[in-house]
Amino acid sequence: MSKKKVILDCDPGHDDAFAIMLSVQNLDVLGITCVGGNTPLPNVTRNALTVLEAIRHADEVPVFSGCSHPMVADLVTAPMFHGKSGLDGHHRPEPVHQAQKKHAVDFIAETVMTTDDVTILATGPLTNVAEALNREPRMVERVREICIMGGSVTFGNWTPAAEFNIFVDPEAAARVFNSGIHVKMCGLNLTRQSGFTDETVRRFRGMGTEVGEFAADLTEFFMQAGRKIDDPTVACMHDACAAAWVIDPSLITSAPMHIDVELSGRFTRGMTVCDYRHLCGPNPIYDVAREPQIGFKGAEPNAEAALELDYDRYMQLIYSTLRSYG
């Protein structure tokens, strides 16, 4: 079976690093496009190259630097989670490869218009994707689907209402959700089910490979950074979940919903407003996927929201992928 063709748009970021490692081995990655998000754009681009060199695929997968700032607001970054470089904790040297000259937005638009059946896998703010849609509106008829890590059916992490990727550029997110392309939203309500633990780190190191050590170093840093803020016992590699959903859709149970993005609320800017009334009836949200009921009709679904992760099989995919790099 041929691998799915994807453009991976990301802002590495520890969890983006795992999305890259999963995608390169299990999908046909046409290119990696970088956007300012977890860290400023120069760091993001360098980090993408670092990951590709760590897994020895930097010669095959081109990297394109894209938008450095959101469409309207100033850039917000997350050094408290990812460190000054955006990918602190590893011991890799500076990458020797460089990004391509072409701008990421041009690469996305041109690739979609000249290549059939492309999925956009977006694990950072959606600035590059939205700008590509604005530049080439005919993409709507060409893209297979857009699978994003972002948003939440429930609560946020950057604010009580908003998840980080959507909060950074809500205007871009609104453009994507209202584009007419099928959007699969892998939000925090799902990714919080995906935690790596101390045992995960031990298993990575037990592989006895450079890639295993790299993965362990990234996980340890990300876990320790989180503990300084809210003392979690796990590190959720959020972006890897979106990649896993593209690789194997059976890993995630989802439901159709109408999703839009709040742009002006004083307390809710960046919130993904999910209308699942037509599914719930009397049942709470966690029963949506199991027992759909007839409720309020609401707006027609424009997206698919991830609800439940098959954690054991997801971790099997993580381990088998990292082992396959040798």
Give the tokens for residue 84.
């000054």
pLDDT mean over 234-252: 96
- Which residues are CB-contacts of 121 (< 8 A; sequence separation ≥ 6)? 6, 7, 8, 9, 19, 23, 27, 147, 148, 242, 243, 246
pLDDT of residue 296: 57
Q: Of 63-67, 129-133, 183-187, 280-284, which gets the smallest average pLDDT?
A: 280-284
**Res. 198: pLDDT tops 50:** yes
Q: Is 90 part of the annotated catalytic residue set?
A: no
Q: Which residues contact 108 (CB under 8 A, 6 or more apart)?
A: 7, 9, 33, 120, 128, 129, 132, 139
Least Cα distance to 120 among 150, 149, 152, 148 occurs for 148
Half-sphere exposure of 57 (CA within 13 A, CB side): 24
What pLDDT is attached to residue 281? 54
54 or 280, which is more confident? 54
Residue in the structure block whose two tokens are 């799902």: 190
pLDDT value at residue 286? 47
CB 72 within 8 A of CB 171: yes
The number of beta carbons lying within 10 Å of the beta carbon of residue 116 is 8
pLDDT exceeding 70 applies to what percent of the chain?
94
Compute CA distances 220 → 51, 83, 193, 234, whole Å: 16, 13, 18, 10
Q: Which of 14, 82, 90, 238 is catalytic?
A: 238
Q: How far apart are CA 25 and CA 128, in angstroms?
A: 24
What domains are defined for the chain? Answer: 5-324 (3.90.245.10)
Instruction: Please say if the pLDDT value at position 234 is more than 90.
Output: no
The pTM score is: 0.94
Tokens of 160: 């009580």
* Mean pLDDT for the stretch of residues 30-45: 98
Residues 6 or more apart whose CB falls under 8 angstroms from that of 81 comprise 14, 38, 222, 225, 226, 229
Whether residue 173 has pLDDT greater than 80: yes
What's the pLDDT tens digit per position in 125-138?
A: 999 999 999 999 99
Taking only the tens place, the pLDDT of each residue in 289-321 is 554 544 556 788 999 999 999 999 999 999 999
pLDDT given at position 287: 52
